[in-house]
Amino acid sequence: MSDAADIIQITEGLTKAIGANSGLNSTLKFDFEGKGIVFVDGKATPNHVSNEDKPADCTITVSVDTFKKMVAREIDGTAAFMQGKLKVAGDMSVAMKLGPILAKAAG
């Protein structure tokens, strides 16, 4: 699958998982290491997921491969962070709220 197709798939999966109210009450940006952006606006009503590159309360930089492994529960977000496979900039508490959202994205 191409990087663009991966980003579209991730955007669609997060849109379904987020729904109208993610409980984030913050903005979150996934930066897929130059391959694409997924922006989650948890402040908007209803919540909104896009591919806009806007400032966010928390930015998570991660490879598409590592993100897919996190959704598939092959790697834990904390483990990915400790191994340097995931970087968090900004409000760490926003990143800590991701577990349930990723679980929903996994289906």
Give the pair of three-digit tokens for residue 18. Answer: 């987020």
Nearest to 40 by CA among 62, 12, 68: 12
pLDDT single digits (tens) 17-58: 898 998 899 999 999 999 999 999 999 999 999 999 999 999
Give the pair of three-digit tokens for residue 78. Answer: 């904390």
C-alpha 39/C-alpha 35 separation (Å) is 14
CATH annotation of 3-106: 3.30.1050.10
pTM for the whole thing?
Answer: 0.92
Please report the pLDDT score of residue 103 as a whole number. 79
pLDDT single digits (tens) 54-103: 999 999 999 999 999 998 989 988 899 999 999 999 999 999 888 888 87
Query: Which phi and psi angles does 28 have, rounded to 5°?
Result: -140, 135
